[in-house]
Amino acid sequence: MTDGPSPPIEYEPLRPGRGAARLIRVGAFSAVIADLALLAAIFIWNGGRNWGPFLSPPVTDSWAHPIAAVSLPFGLVGIFASGVGVLRPSAVAWKVVAALASSGYLIGVVCVVIFGLL
């Protein structure tokens, strides 16, 4: 009872986990890859049908559907990793890139389904 007041407890600031920065980067990169693959598939499909007979490009329109199918797993990984990574502590720039790339992929898929781009 004769001791002085107890010293205040100093808390350490919360540090981000080891995988926080890695997760948002994986989400951003895979969403960007999915965006580019989906755009390439749309361009190949529509360009091959319209300009293929005149230009005889090295990539035919039969490649469009497999490229779009490859973009689907990348897009799903990008959407989920970006969604989880946005909620975890990491750099704001990566969060913005991941959110924009994931939303761009979702908008692209919705446009493909609604407008029949593939």
pTM for this structure?
0.79
Average pLDDT over residues 64-91: 93
What is the sign of the dihedral through the CA atoms of 115, 43, 105 and 107?
negative
CA distances from 16 to 20, 59, 87, 114 (A): 6, 45, 11, 40
Contact 73, 109 (CB under 8 A): no
> What pLDDT, on the 0 to 100 scale, is given for residue 117?
86
Distance (Å, whole) CA 40 – CA 98: 20
Residue 90, both tokens: 């990491």
Instruction: Summarize pLDDT for 35-54 with one digit per residue, the tens.
Output: 999 999 999 888 877 777 77
Side-chain half-sphere CA neighbours of 100 within 13 A: 6
